[in-house]
Structure 1
């Protein structure tokens, strides 16, 4: 099978260099790479050009439209039987394409997703954020986990779709704010077979500071409401958990400030949650520093998502603003 790897890029030249270096080491070699520069000020044209002799790589520059429409741009120019979508901030294990090809040859999927993990070379902050984004205590196991809750929706940091899916459904119809989940739901609805390939993992750098992580998760919270506007039935009880958690933290802070007796209950819940995050992260990462940073990452993840969710729930559902 011939794969077309499509990578939208926006002002991240160093990231694409590291990603292309990891693709050079693939044990399965039947693939091309399309780098779609989405109107960047800091473009990566010269960096990508250095890989021309090592990879079947194609570089395109287009006006800024967002990652969803940049992937569509790549779909239209891809030669492959199967399209693989990566974010620019990942590293790919050397057997990734071999794993995917073997799965598709033995148990074909029209679309798939894979999990993400932290690479040993990542900073403690990146490892803590990676832990938070994959922890059962913050996500409920819904990201790249075969025991996750509900229907599996591939995410665009590590996602593949067949040419047949694209020919029938087209590409992304929104360019950001949950565009990958919307696409996954349409693929499911059309009757295509979607699945998780647990061994097809990537190393996801994510954000490098709490402030960047906050902005990203606030955006994710808003994205969930955007998906609701397309598919109301996809808004599940689990999606309200970060908002409930955020309101609980706020209430506990107020209760402590005013000396309300009920404050002990909120304090106890937060202490238990903090200890669960710390010791679970410690067992996975074998690092006290990462475990401590994971506490902050977990609170930021839930609160930022919860605030973004409540913001757009109020504006777009209650007040019905566009």
Structure 2
């Protein structure tokens, strides 16, 4: 086997040493060993250097501390110091199954592609809020299956919680743009415009920890909504009708109260439609998670998801 590194794993981290430790531990257990890990500590107040020290005898691992620039530039910095043919991006709040790179090797040896992505799923150790957020973020009923499931209503676009790209292709498009949110979709769009071929490797999944509280989840989704409007403007032709659905959800929710002053029957109709939808959410999540309480929480997280994304999208239209 060649001594050349096949995969360079880039992990930006900001004040998350414990989560990073879990990710690096899962990478150290891989049966495939021809890889390197590059940690980019993006100006954290809580250093992750100790993680590097603990694993440097078990892995080909490097640690860099930079001033805070955001995840996009942190990943670009990591790629500049990478030696691999393929660049792999994981979020620091993910873990990977022991056979991840074995599955990846088999797929890439049989398919000529330039970049890829895989799904994110949950681990049994996740708490109830994380499981309900996971449902809201991945269910076909809430996102159209666009985050990496086998079935999707649109073309799959890799995202950096679980993404790989040939280093040559990454450099051709000059890496990530200097934007705070939506940088992964922006990269995928630019790679596609360059004629680079992509694939969803559905068996190469990661366990993705969600936000552990509802306020941080709302902030995350709000920023995603604002980023969506930016991406639609930057990449003409990428707008899809379902991008508007969360905003329509917000608009009709607000209008339902205004219609009460005009005709209560209109308000009643809107509330019945919303109620039927959330009953379906409850039943679906309860069945999938085998837990009625998580089903109930999924109503709340789905409401927050639509409210946050829709509000962020609307704010971006009038402000950005």
Which digits, 9 at most, give the CA deviation of each residue in 1:226-269, with x for residues without a partner? 21231132122110110001112222244457762211211111
- Report the TM-score, using the length of structure 1 for normalisation: 0.95
What is the aligned partner in structure 2 of residue 128 from structure 1? 132
Would the alpha carbon gap of residues 257 and 88 (structure 1) be closer, same or farther in structure 2, given more than 3 Å must change?
A: farther
What is the aligned partner in structure 1 of residue 285 from structure 2? 281
SS of the aligned residue for 2:12 comes to strand
- Report the TM-score, using the length of structure 2 for normalisation: 0.96
Whole-Å Cα distance in 2 between the matches of residues 124 and 137 of structure 1? 19
Which digits, 9 at most, give the CA deviation of each residue in 1:156-180, with x for residues without a partner? 1111000221232221112322111
User: How do 1:223-238 residues align onto structure 2 when only pairs under 5 Å count?
Assistant: 223-238=227-242
Whole-Å Cα distance in 2 between the matches of residues 257 and 50 of structure 1? 64
1:187 to 191, 198, 203: 191
SS of the aligned residue for 1:310 comes to helix
What is the aligned partner in structure 2 of residue 12 from structure 1? 16
Would the alpha carbon gap of residues 290 and 257 (structure 1) be closer, same or farther in structure 2, given more than 3 Å must change?
A: farther
Whole-Å Cα distance in 1 between the matches of residues 240 and 107 of structure 2? 31
What is the aligned partner in structure 2 of residue 67 from structure 1? 71
How far off is 1:146 after superposition? 3.0
Count of matched residue pairs: 316
Q: CA RMSD in A?
A: 1.3
Whole-Å Cα distance in 1 between the matches of residues 288 and 307 of structure 2? 23
Would the alpha carbon gap of residues 258 and 207 (structure 1) be closer, same or farther in structure 2, given more than 3 Å must change?
A: farther
How far off is 1:10 after superposition? 0.6
What is the aligned partner in structure 1 of residue 156 from structure 2? 152
Whole-Å Cα distance in 2 between the matches of residues 47 and 122 of structure 1? 22
Which digits, 9 at most, give the CA deviation of each residue in 1:284-306, with x for residues without a partner? 11111211111100000011000
CA contact (8 A) 1:65 1:175 kept: no
Which digits, 9 at most, give the CA deviation of each residue in 1:170-201, with x for residues without a partner? 21112322111010001001011111100111
User: How do 1:1-322 residues align onto structure 2 when only pairs under 5 Å count?
Assistant: 2-256=6-260, 260-316=264-320
Bigger mean CA deviation after superposition, 179-188 or 38-47 = 38-47
What is the aligned partner in structure 2 of residue 320 from structure 1? none
Q: Which runs of 5+ in 2 are unaligned?
A: none
Whole-Å Cα distance in 2 between the matches of residues 31 and 87 of structure 1? 17
SS of the aligned residue for 2:40 comes to strand
SS of the aligned residue for 1:159 comes to strand
SS of the aligned residue for 1:54 comes to coil
Structure 1 segments (4+ residues) deviating >3 Å: 253-259
SS of the aligned residue for 1:266 comes to helix
Which digits, 9 at most, give the CA deviation of each residue in 1:18-75, with x for residues without a partner? 1111111112111110000011111111122111111111100011111001100011
